[in-house]
Amino acid sequence: MPAARIGLLQAGYVHPDVARDHGDYPELFADLLRLGGLDAELVTYDLQRDGGPTTLDGHDGWIISGSVSSAYEDEDWIRDLERLSLALLDRDEPVVGICFGHQVLARATGGQVEKAAAGWGVGVHDYHLTGPHRAWTGGLEPDPVRMVASHQDQVVELPDGAEPFLTSPFCPNAGFTLGSDAMTIQAHPEFTPAVSAELIGMRRAVLGDDLADAATATLPRGTDNPVVARWITTFLGADR
- Residue 197: CATH number of its domain: 3.40.50.880
What is the DSSP code (8-state) at residue 220?
A: G
Instruction: Give the mean model confidence (pLDDT) for residues 211-218.
Output: 98
Task: Please report which confidence band the pLDDT of residue 2 belongs to, taking 50, 70 and 90 as the band edges.
Answer: low
Which residues face 44 on adjacent strands?
A: 8
Q: For 60, what's the count of Cα atoms within 13 Å in the CB-facing half-sphere?
A: 18
Q: What is the pLDDT of residue 163?
A: 97
Q: What is the pLDDT of residue 73?
A: 97
Tell me the helix, strand and coil percentages in the chain, rounded to 5.
35, 25, 40
Q: What is the pLDDT of residue 90?
A: 94
Catalytic residue among 99, 125, 151, 198: 99
Task: Please report which confidence band the pLDDT of residue 41 belongs to, taking 50, 70 and 90 as the band edges.
Answer: very high
Instruction: Give the mean model confidence (pLDDT) for residues 30-40.
Output: 95
Q: What is the pLDDT of residue 206?
A: 96
Percentage of residues in the chain having pLDDT higher than 90: 95
Catalytic residue among 102, 125, 151, 188: 188
Task: Give catalytic status of residue 157 as yes or no.
Answer: no
C-alpha span between 110 and 11 (Å, rounded): 20
Number of domains in the chain: 1
Q: What is the pLDDT of residue 92?
A: 81
Q: What is the pLDDT of residue 239?
A: 46
With 50 as the cut, is the pLDDT of residue 224 above it? yes
Q: What is the pLDDT of residue 121?
A: 98
Catalytic residue among 102, 125, 171, 190: 190
Please tell me the pTM assigned to this model.
0.96
Taking only the tens place, the pLDDT of each residue in 128-187 is 999 888 999 999 999 999 999 999 999 999 999 999 999 999 999 999 999 999 999 999
Task: Give catalytic status of residue 171 as yes or no.
Answer: no
Please give the mean pLDDT across all residues of the chain: 96
With 90 as the cut, is the pLDDT of residue 93 above it? no
With 80 as the cut, is the pLDDT of residue 238 above it? no
Percentage of residues in the chain having pLDDT higher than 70: 98
Parent domain of 98: 4-237
Q: What is the pLDDT of residue 132?
A: 86
Which residues are CB-contacts of 39 (< 8 A; sequence separation ≥ 6)? Answer: 1, 3, 4
Give the Å distances, CA to CA, from 79 to 52, 53, 85, 86.
12, 15, 10, 11
Task: Give catalytic status of residue 22 as yes or no.
Answer: no
Q: What is the pLDDT of residue 98?
A: 98
